[in-house]
Chains A and B, each alone.
Chain A
Amino acid sequence: MAVSKKDVEHVALLARLRLSEEEVEIFTNQLSQILEHAGKISQLETLEVESTTHPLPVKNVYREDVVKESLSKDDALLNAPEIESGAFKVPKII
């Protein structure tokens, strides 16, 4: 299936990526090419086939809902690009 430039621009917004004109051009071609190859799977009949959620049979894992030691505030903020009053700082949202 051919991917259009408009598709690429829409997907870039969903993925929160800023692409240059040139990148949009390149990705339009490459995504079309890769998806054409990947689209081969549409030939397979899968009506009766279950989806894989896990390659081995495993069960969900639960634990007791008890408070345990976690990352310290200092550790959590260690790599933050910007901090103010012990919190992550981001541009104004509202």
Chain B
Amino acid sequence: MDITKFSAGDAVKQIKNKEISVLELTDSYLNRIKEVDDRVKAFIQVDAEGARARARELDGSTVNELGGGLPIAIKDNINLIGAPTTCASKILKNYRPVYNAHVIEKLIRGDAVFIGKTNLDEFAMGSSTENSSFGPTHNPWDIERVPGGSSGGSAAAIAAREALWAIGSDTGGSIRQPAAFCGVVGLKPTYGLVSRYGLVAFASSLDQIGPITKTVDDSALLLSIIAGHDRRDSTSLDYEIPDYLANPNSNLSDLKVGLPIELFSESFDEGVKVSVKKAIEILEKKGAKIEETSLSSIEYALSTYYIIAPAEASSNLSRYDGVRYGFRSNDNSDIIEMYKDSRSGGFGQEVKRRIMLGTYALSAGYYDAYYGKAQKVRTMIIEDFKSAFSKYDVLISPTTPTTAFKKGEKTSDPLQMYLSDICTIPANLAGIPAISIPCGLSDNLPVGLQIMADHYGEATLFKVAKELEEEIGFSDIPEL
């Protein structure tokens, strides 16, 4: 039996009943990595020895029943002591973290087995995991295609069964878009539900850590492990985390679903439209009330995002100055020249582009027209969502306009690349939770369905997603 097929729930039971050991489970994933990762390239580093040692240690004790003993992959922009945090950037190539992220502390307490760090677009900036100084990750469904990004390594690792579950981060869709492209489940929680302490900052008002998993139940379990207040992140919500694992009432007859017309463009792929439509029909058959609705301001979400996110990034990335950590150019006697050479030598093209964009939007004479204006439009977007959620329990859309695109297809045209996040960006601007689940295949490539709920609406997302998951029965696994 191939034990890498187990969901988290199954694996937990098997470990508890001593039918498999943590070491066996860990070894099966390590073997799988050995077998397929030269083709997928999901990982930047694999810690086989550390994972095995941890597994043996856990086998000798009573393992935490809430997901303990399960091999997990961590996106390489999250600090885990013992492994470098590279952010897939030359500038942090040898960076050794001196503290653990809050999510890592929680996972350690939950008896997790850390199997490795996964590839990403440099500093999480990108939608294809092609902007990595370690080279691109390939989509397990078709290795000529991208896995999406920026958490492309984590999503590909789950699709290729190289880890039981994974952690990603989502600033404009970086969990959901790769989850959609790889046929797995990706959740961006409510902003502040999971502490950002130890996550390398990209755009602080948008960044959120979340789970990438095989199933909706796994997503709920992993979220319940990592969510919770942390005083070291001042935007962390002081909120009592509900029991996401409680069996929800599966009756959808009083569910009200809104379909934002702005996220159902005629120009989207036919295959995407067909699969999403089928999923909506399932909900309708189960008695949910479905209605088209308009959130007119979200037409401006992409524009707003590509001002706010680079502006925050340009400020956050000013810390890479070659003084305290990171790459330093050594042939300078002048400090300004040293800053310039270190930063230009250490950052890749997309990161430079966003720093330039953000610095421009924040510079004297342009601040009001760009950054100031964008912060106001963001308010309009939040208000549109508030008003939509006064009428609907959830909003549903495709996660992405297309299925996974070919490598190199969009690398020369940044605007085209940015457009692939058009359906996912609104949730980040509004700080609301959103989940992507696989809803079918189009030309043997997975299609993602996005469900959004109001702030703190994770339990509702899980309930609807789980019903759909059962009815759709997506169980395909890519052949590698």
Residues of A at under 8 Å CB distance from B? Answer: 3, 7-8, 10-12, 14-19, 23, 27, 30-31, 33-35, 37-42, 44, 46, 49-56, 58, 60-61, 63, 71, 75-76, 78-82, 88, 90-93
Q: Are B326 and A15 in contact (CB under 8 A)?
A: no
Query: Is B387 an interface residue when CB atoms closer than 8 A count as contact?
Result: no
Given A41-B374, A51-B379, answer yes or no on A12-B303 (Cβ-Cβ < 8 Å). Answer: no
Q: Are B353 and A27 in contact (CB under 8 A)?
A: yes
Pick the contact of A56: B191, B352, B357 (CB < 8 A): B191
Q: Are A12 and B356 in contact (CB under 8 A)?
A: yes
The residues of B that contact A60 with a CB separation of less than 8 Å are 234
In the docked arrangement, what's the CA distance between A10 and B98, Å? 36
Q: What residue in chain B is nearest A8 (Cβ atoms)? A: B356
Q: Could you tell me the dominant secondary structure of chain B's interface residues?
A: helix
Residues of B at under 8 Å CB distance from A? Answer: 94-96, 98-99, 190-192, 205, 231, 234-235, 237, 297, 300, 302-304, 306-307, 314, 318, 321-328, 330, 332-336, 338-341, 343-344, 347, 352-353, 355-357, 359-360, 363, 369-370, 372-380, 382, 414-415, 418, 429-432, 455
- Report B75 CB to chain A, min CB distance, Å: 20
Pick the contact of B355: A15, A37, A44, A71 (CB < 8 A): A15
20 contacts between A and B (CB under 8 A): A3-B360, A11-B356, A11-B360, A14-B359, A23-B352, A37-B303, A38-B306, A41-B304, A42-B369, A46-B376, A49-B376, A49-B377, A50-B376, A54-B205, A76-B324, A78-B96, A79-B95, A79-B326, A81-B325, A81-B330
The residues of A that contact B96 with a CB separation of less than 8 Å are 78-79
Q: What residue in chain A is nearest B99 (Cβ atoms)? A: A71
Besides A52-B376, A93-B335, 10 new A-B residue pairs in contact (Cβ under 8 A), listed by A number: A3-B360, A16-B318, A41-B377, A46-B380, A52-B382, A78-B98, A81-B322, A81-B326, A90-B338, A91-B338
Pick the contact of B300: A15, A27, A40 (CB < 8 A): A40
In the docked arrangement, what's the CA distance between A44 and B376, Å? 10
In the docked arrangement, what's the CA distance between A14 and B356, Å? 9
Q: Are B376 and A30 in contact (CB under 8 A)?
A: no
Most B Cβ at <10 Å: residue of A16, A27, A34, A93: A16
The residues of B that contact A92 with a CB separation of less than 8 Å are 333, 335
Most B Cβ at <10 Å: residue of A12, A35, A55, A81: A55
- Report A79 CB to chain B, min CB distance, Å: 4
Q: Are A88 and B231 in contact (CB under 8 A)?
A: no
Q: Are A56 and B363 in contact (CB under 8 A)?
A: no
In the docked arrangement, what's the CA distance between A10 and B364, Å? 11
Give how many A-B residue pairs fall within 8 Å (CB-CB). Answer: 167
The residues of A that contact B377 with a CB separation of less than 8 Å are 41, 44, 46, 49
The residues of B that contact A40 with a CB separation of less than 8 Å are 300, 303
Q: What residue in chain A is nearest B338 (Cβ atoms)? A: A91
Q: What residue in chain A is nearest B334 (Cβ atoms)? A: A91
- Report A47 CB to chain B, min CB distance, Å: 9
Q: Are A16 and B343 in contact (CB under 8 A)?
A: yes
Q: Are B303 and A39 in contact (CB under 8 A)?
A: yes
Q: What residue in chain B is nearest A81 (Cβ atoms)? A: B328
The residues of B that contact A49 with a CB separation of less than 8 Å are 376-377, 379-380
Q: Are B306 and A34 in contact (CB under 8 A)?
A: yes
Q: What residue in chain A is nearest B347 (Cβ atoms)? A: A17
Given A23-B352, A56-B191, A80-B324, answer yes or no on A15-B314 (Cβ-Cβ < 8 Å). Answer: yes
Q: Are B357 and A17 in contact (CB under 8 A)?
A: no
Q: What residue in chain B is nearest A43 (Cβ atoms)? A: B300
In the docked arrangement, what's the CA distance between A7 and B328, Å? 27
- Report B401 CB to chain A, min CB distance, Å: 16
- Report A2 CB to chain B, min CB distance, Å: 12
Q: Are A18 and B341 in contact (CB under 8 A)?
A: yes
The residues of B that contact A54 with a CB separation of less than 8 Å are 205, 235, 431
Q: What residue in chain A is nearest B352 (Cβ atoms)? A: A17
In the docked arrangement, what's the CA distance between A54 and B297, Å? 18
Q: Are B359 and A15 in contact (CB under 8 A)?
A: yes
In the docked arrangement, what's the CA distance between A70 and B343, Å? 28
The residues of A that contact B335 with a CB separation of less than 8 Å are 90-93
- Report A56 CB to chain B, min CB distance, Å: 5
Q: Are B338 and A33 in contact (CB under 8 A)?
A: no
Given A49-B380, A56-B237, answer yes or no on A90-B323 (Cβ-Cβ < 8 Å). Answer: yes
Pick the contact of B235: A17, A41, A58 (CB < 8 A): A58
In the docked arrangement, what's the CA distance between A27 and B300, Å? 23
- Report A24 CB to chain B, min CB distance, Å: 10
In the docked arrangement, what's the CA distance between A33 and B333, Å? 37
Q: What residue in chain A is nearest B299 (Cβ atoms)? A: A40
Q: Are A30 and B353 in contact (CB under 8 A)?
A: yes
The residues of B that contact A12 with a CB separation of less than 8 Å are 356
Q: What residue in chain A is nearest B322 (Cβ atoms)? A: A81
